[in-house]
Amino acid sequence: MSIKIGILGYGNLGRGVEKAVIANDDMELVGVFTRRDPASVKIDSGAKAYNVNDLSSMKDAIDVLVICGGSATDLPEMTPKYAADFNVIDSFDTHANIPVHFANVDKAAKAAGKIGIISCGWDPGMFSLNRLYAHSVLPGGKDYTFWGKGVSQGHSDAIRRIKGVLDARQYTVPVPEALDKVRNGENPELTTREKHTRVCYVVAEEGADKARIENEIVTMPNYFADYNTTVYFISMDEMKAEHSGLPHGGSVIYSGTTGGNTNADGSTSKVNKHVIEYSLNLDSNPEFTGSVLVAYARAAYRMNQAGDSGAKTVFDIAPALLSPLSGDDIRAHML
Amino acid sequence: MSIKIGILGYGNLGRGVEKAVIANDDMELVGVFTRRDPASVKIDSGAKAYNVNDLSSMKDAIDVLVICGGSATDLPEMTPKYAADFNVIDSFDTHANIPVHFANVDKAAKAAGKIGIISCGWDPGMFSLNRLYAHSVLPGGKDYTFWGKGVSQGHSDAIRRIKGVLDARQYTVPVPEALDKVRNGENPELTTREKHTRVCYVVAEEGADKARIENEIVTMPNYFADYNTTVYFISMDEMKAEHSGLPHGGSVIYSGTTGGNTNADGSTSKVNKHVIEYSLNLDSNPEFTGSVLVAYARAAYRMNQAGDSGAKTVFDIAPALLSPLSGDDIRAHML
């Protein structure tokens, strides 16, 4: 018996979820739900496209609805709404608003007896897990998160809004010296500028003032002003040939200690340093994120089958629930 | 209210657990239990030493008993035995015997209404978690585990048993070329010899036949014969000055793909590669292992308080149960 998955929203992330469902033998894709006219949306795999309003009549046809919307306006409204009828999962990543979003989803999901997993993906998601495991094992240490080298879609969009820009791609790049210090367990204090640089590839309109465009980029508040930013102007051909992918990744590095306590004889035990690092090197950010969502969709289904309900995050979910394999199999092959 | 911890066994691992309990404010160390005469055992922190037979009268004084014994003979007997009276946790690492050990502990713990966590530490333990998460997110990929650079106590002991050897320290070292290939996502087939080398520091007796000792080491079946092994003879002074620690670590590297499926129009979607790496760089193997055991002891206590019982592994335990912080706090600070 397959787990029946619905996808709400068909952008890059929805396509990533689609591929992940196909890659998992215990799952089937019921369909893709869109706010557009379904006849205008071609689903890569040939799955059926529905209008989002069709969801109201498909409550029994879908085990888990994967909501692929934006964190700014879509998810705060959609995830609680659909948690009233479906087990749902999203990748909500507006950090400051997680408590409110969790509370809203929890209320709706508990009332409906459904599971609502929020903020799932790699950050928040796999990176969050690694922060939690490390802090729990070595209390009192310090975690560092580096992103990249990878494409930031938000920063690329910000450049595209500048007058005279035809296309742009922005790579976030960790500063190697900062990474080295953290990996050495030196626990440095790092400013925003010391952690990451930003590298921009820009296609300008014929005759555009490149000096003005570059200046508008590097001085842009929030996005670029606090970083060392490099701008390269390239041709549209080079943009298409060299920068069409959406690679990303990064590292969570945690540095902590054991020992250092006072012994009964008045001596102090030796302080031992430990460094824990979790790194991702991803050819496709949306396909990896989609894969994480689908593994957690399996957990959502199982938790609900076991009678659980309410909002959950990756912190609340036992790892075994993510695997299609039995407890015997995972103990035999992965423990 | 503190979680009351008992430690059974006071070698390197027991001392690591002791330091971890001291580092966690929500825990207290009830005492250390030993098969030796307790009067002969000095506990570093000043905690009380008891004879192991005293455990039978202390069922209500201990919330979780951390069993620090060897996997060969101690744990298969002790963990099921004490699971009949206590929530227990061990670091059982004889891989082939995990199914039997799990079944034995499960039976005893279920009958007693207690929790028994087995095979906890970093491998098995944190490394296992990373194998499971990666396989679940990217089905069909391949995991590689590299150990070191670090001291293997079993291999060091094996050298010490050779005639003419006064002391020895064996370092397991990953082969850099193998690590590079795996990190590149090349999915190489690697022999034992291609993955790790073994480097041995040996103090020989005055006048001992060093050529014979070296030959006995490098040809030793199971331990060294399948590896490229280097032997250095050093003085006892150098051994004490340079090789007194028990550093260890390693990496779990997983390489998987997304895409590659056939689309409705007959085309094949692009294959994207993803590499996930989890690495540990530990100054003290037993202190880090002890820290993992103590974080999972907290989970054992909480699961039992919530009415759960039976054998568990790291796979069965939601990450939030490891943290002393509330769900609100971990969502706000680590998600």
What pTM value is reported for the model?
0.97
- The per-residue pLDDT for A1 is 75
Within 10 A of B95 (CB to CB), how many other CB atoms are there?
15
B136, closest residue in chain A (CA to CA): A323
Reduce the DSSP state of residue A74 to 3 states and report it.
Answer: helix
Distance from CA of A200 to the nearest CA of B (A): 23
Tokens (6 digits) for A28: 């089937």
A232: left (phi over 0), alpha (psi -120 to 50) or beta: beta
Q: Please name the residue ranges forming H helices in B138-175.
A: 153-160
Question: Residue range B239-265: average pLDDT?
Answer: 96
Note whether B258 contacts A295, CB cutoff 8 Å. Answer: no
Amino acid B62: pLDDT: 98
User: What pLDDT shows up at residue A122?
Assistant: 97
Mutate to test the interface with B, among A101, A271, A274 (most CBs of B within 10 A): A274
- Distance CA(A157)–CA(A169), nearest Å, equals 8
Q: Tell me, what's the pLDDT at A314?
A: 98
For residues B308-317, average pLDDT: 98
How much is the pLDDT for A181? 96
pLDDT score for B117: 98
Which whole number is the average pLDDT over A17-29? 98
Neighboring chain A residues of B20 at a CB cutoff of 8 Å:
258
Residues A240-261 have pLDDT tens digits of 999 999 999 999 999 999 999 9
Residue B268: DSSP 8-state = B
Contact A319 B324 (CB under 8 A): no
Which residues in chain A touch residue B120, judged by CB atoms under 8 angstroms apart?
none
Inter-chain CB pairs, A–B, below 8 Å: 244
Query: Do the beta carbons of residue A295 and residue B137 sit within 8 Å?
Result: yes
Whether residue A94 has pLDDT greater than 80: yes
What pLDDT digit, counting tens, does each position of A187-206 carry?
A: 999 999 999 999 999 999 99
The pLDDT assigned to B36 comes to 94
Among B22, B102, B282, select the one facing A274 at the smallest CB separation.
Answer: B282
Contacts of A94 in chain B (CB under 8 A): none
Residue B1 has pLDDT above 90, yes or no: no
* Interchain proximity A281–B291, CB inside 8 Å: no
In the prediction, which pLDDT does A224 show? 96
Inter-chain touch A274–B290, beta carbons under 8 Å: no
**Considering only alpha carbons, which residue of chain A is nearest residue B132?**
A334
pLDDT tens figures, B234-245: 999 999 999 999
Q: Convert the pLDDT of each residue in A100-125 to its tens digit.
A: 999 999 999 999 999 999 999 999 99
Of B73, B46, B50, nearest in space to B62 by CA: B50
> What's the whole-number mean pLDDT along residues A261-275?
96
DSSP state for residue A180 in the 8-state scheme: H
* Exposure b/e, A132-151, CB count within 10 A at least 16 = b: bbbbbbbbebbbbbbbbbbb
Nearest to A258 among B261, B277, B287 (CB): B287
Residues A31-90 pLDDT 10s: 999 999 999 999 999 999 999 999 999 999 999 999 999 999 999 999 999 999 999 999
Whole-number pLDDT of residue A45: 96
Q: What is the pLDDT of residue A29?
A: 98
pLDDT in tens, A30-42: 999 999 999 999 9
Q: What is the complex's ipTM, to 2 decimals?
A: 0.97
Residues forming beta bridges with residue A262, ordered by sequence position: A268
* Sheet-wide strand order for B3-8: B49-51, B27-34, B3-8, B64-67, B87-89, B115-117, B310-312
Contacts of B64 (CB under 8 A, 6+ apart): B3, B4, B5, B6, B86, B87, B88, B89, B297, B300, B301
Residue of A nearest to B273 (CA): A283
Q: Name which residue leads in pLDDT, B238 or A95.
A: B238
Tokens of B165: 């050897």
CA distance linking residue A183 with residue B3, whole number of Å: 33
d(CA A21, nearest CA chain B) in Å: 11
Are B43 and A331 an interchain contact pair (Cβ–Cβ within 8 Å)? Answer: no
Cβ distance of A335 and B273 shorter than 8 Å:
no
Averaged pLDDT of chain A: 97
Q: CB B331 to CB A313 under 8 A?
A: yes
Give the list of residues 6+ apart from residue A186 with CB closer than 8 angstroms, or none.
A255
**Among B102, B282, B327, beta carbon nearest to A331:** B102
Q: What's the CA gap between A107 and A93, in Å, rounded?
A: 19
Question: How far A269 CA lies from chain B's nearest CA (Å)?
Answer: 9
Question: Contact B46/A20, CB-based, under 8 Å?
Answer: no
Using a CB-CB distance cutoff of 8 angstroms, which residues of chain B are in contact with residue A315?
Answer: 318-320, 323, 327, 330-331, 334-335
Nearest to A137 among B292, B327, B335 (CB): B292
Which tens digit of pLDDT belongs to each residue from B29-80? Answer: 999 999 999 999 999 999 999 999 999 999 999 999 999 999 999 999 999 9
Residue with tokens 């007058």: A163
User: If you measure CA to CA, which chain A residue comes closest to B120?
Assistant: A335
